[in-house]
Amino acid sequence: MKLQIVPASTGLSWVKLGVKTFFRQPLAMSGLFFMFMAVVSLLSVVPFIGTAISLGLVPAATLGLMAASREAVAGRFPMPVTLLTAFRSGADRTRPMLVLGGLYAGALLLVLGLAALLGPAGGTPVALTDGEVTPEAMRSAFMSQGMWVAMLAYVPVLMAFWHAPALVHWHGVSPGKSLFFSAMACWRNKGAMLVYTLGWVGVFMLMGLVMSLLGAMLGGASALNLIMYPMVLFMASMFHTSIYFTFRDSFDTGEPPELADAAA
């Protein structure tokens, strides 16, 4: 296995492949993502350790969704058990994934702690009224020094953990090395990753516009809320479906893509 350098235009292909693969198995992909979010939400309410445990499961859930994408590419229906891929290959693969989850939880809690220490800079946050996102609330959020520091600090964390679950589980790379290789792959393919990010931003903005228009045509805020939640679920599921392709094209495993996809 070695790093592959791809052109910047590949980032747009990753977006397209994510959307295309999602629509091959829309119920399965959105259902798996909903299951993951439901488990995280339930764990988060557990006092003291719930948040840390839910964060620690993120790498394993990411791998499960990547495995589901491989199944969909191969023309198979991803079953719910696919979400547990990280824990189905014996202790030799489970332990490193748990270590990776602990590292992710620790890194993200540090980022959030740093943001909390800095606190809001530029005024008291404006509270939401009846769940409505007002221009004042948005301005207050963007004026928060803590938010910007958290976003900047999270970028290297995201790069380090982006490919790490797949490297640990599918290729037996140690958690520490997987973080280094993942960060290096993201950096060397930064052009493609930037286009990929901008591509999804464009998709999300377009869907937001479509939802706003549909809400206005169907009767305002109540109709918009009815449309918004399933659409957000579908969009998030599409995005997570596309993550697999960023890994597949960033590393040469010595196998043709078709064989690599069928190997799951």
Q: Which pair of structure tokens corresponds to residue 136?
A: 């004042």
pTM (two decimals): 0.83
pLDDT computed for residue 91 by the predictor: 86
Domain ranges, ordered by start, for the chain: 2-262
pLDDT computed for residue 142 by the predictor: 56
Block mean pLDDT (10 aa), the chain, length 264:
91 96 93 92 86 92 95 93 90 92 93 77 42 50 68 91 95 94 96 96 89 72 70 91 95 58 40
pLDDT computed for residue 136 by the predictor: 54
pLDDT computed for residue 128 by the predictor: 40
